Structure 1
Amino acid sequence: MRGIAIRIHREFQLMDCASALSIEGLVLEMVGAATRRRAQGLSVRPSRWIREVKDFLDEHFKEQINLSTLAKCADRHPAYLSQVFRRCYGSTIGDYVRQLRLDYASKKITHSTESIADIATAAGFYDQSHFAHAFKIHTGVTPAEFRAATRKK
């Protein structure tokens, strides 16, 4: 749901002729996700070990993290870790890390003059192409278009 909220915020920043409709759709998507999450029991408080995994990801998302290493650190089987993480947070570990990286990159694009390639690397993406593809799927615009739109304001 955090990703949806960020997309709503971006629509408010870009504000063009389609923004009102996009915002309405995103709000409905958020309500649907919250309803589904509640129905699936995802609002239960996660146990300490899974919160520690999430905290680790929050601090180390820029690094290359693989599931087996993460599971070993949590002293859990990788499949069990994945299942519990998704049940508690409504997202796969990979999607969660990608979201953190995209959020970080969005802020850097908006508030720095670093090149897109340097931002992609700093955020933990494999290369600029992978970053640009993920960014466009997430925001609907390329990183360069996003930078240009946020610089106009």
Structure 2
Amino acid sequence: MSSDVRLPHWPAWLEEARQMLDRDFRERLTTAHIARTVGVHPVYLAQMFRKHFACGVIEYIARRRIAYACRELRNSGVPIADIAIAAGFYDQGHFSRTFKRILGITPSVYRRRHRPRADS
């Protein structure tokens, strides 16, 4: 067996939960639903998730949604309100507040700074 193969240092159920969040982050997910799906108590899921991934379940979802939104802001001309909904946020206001909390700038400023420039 190769010694350069790295396995996660967390239980399989926790990896299943993380993969579920990575796949379904745009859906309406709750810690209770995720815990039920992987077969553990919600409090235990929250504790283990924070221990192994250095953030809570809800924060992890928010970061995944913001990463998705950043790709859309850079690569499309879709209105910010539509990106917010597509990313899984309830409305543009909630999206903008979360975006600014995580990245320190608003979505519109991010888009201006990161859109490809047309050659003049």
Q: Which TM-score tier does this pair reach, normalised by the shorter chain?
A: 0.7 to 0.9
Distance 1:125 1:46 in 2: 29
Per the normalisation by structure 1, the TM-score is 0.69
Offset of 1:110 from its aligned partner? Answer: 0.5
Residue 45 (structure 2) pairs with residue 45 (structure 1): no
Offset of 1:84 from its aligned partner? Answer: 0.7
Please give the secondary structure, in 2, of the residue aligned with 1:51: helix
The percentage of counterpart residues that share the same residue type is 36
How many residues align? The count is: 110
Whose helix proportion is higher, 1 or 2?
1
Please give the secondary structure, in 1, of the residue aligned with 2:115: helix
Per the normalisation by structure 2, the TM-score is 0.87
Corresponding residue number in structure 1 for 2:94: 130
Write the deviation string for residues 102-131 of structure 1: whole angstroms up to 9, x where unpaired: 000001000001110110000001110000
Q: 1:151 aligns with which of 110, 115, 118?
A: 115
* RMSD of equivalent CA atoms: 1.2
Corresponding residue number in structure 1 for 2:74: 110
Q: 1:57 aligns with which of 21, 41, 64?
A: 21
Ranges of 4+ aligned residues in structure 1 off by more than 6 Å: none
Q: Which runs of 5+ in 2 are unaligned?
A: 1-7
- On the 8 A contact 2:50/2:56 being kept in 1, the answer is yes
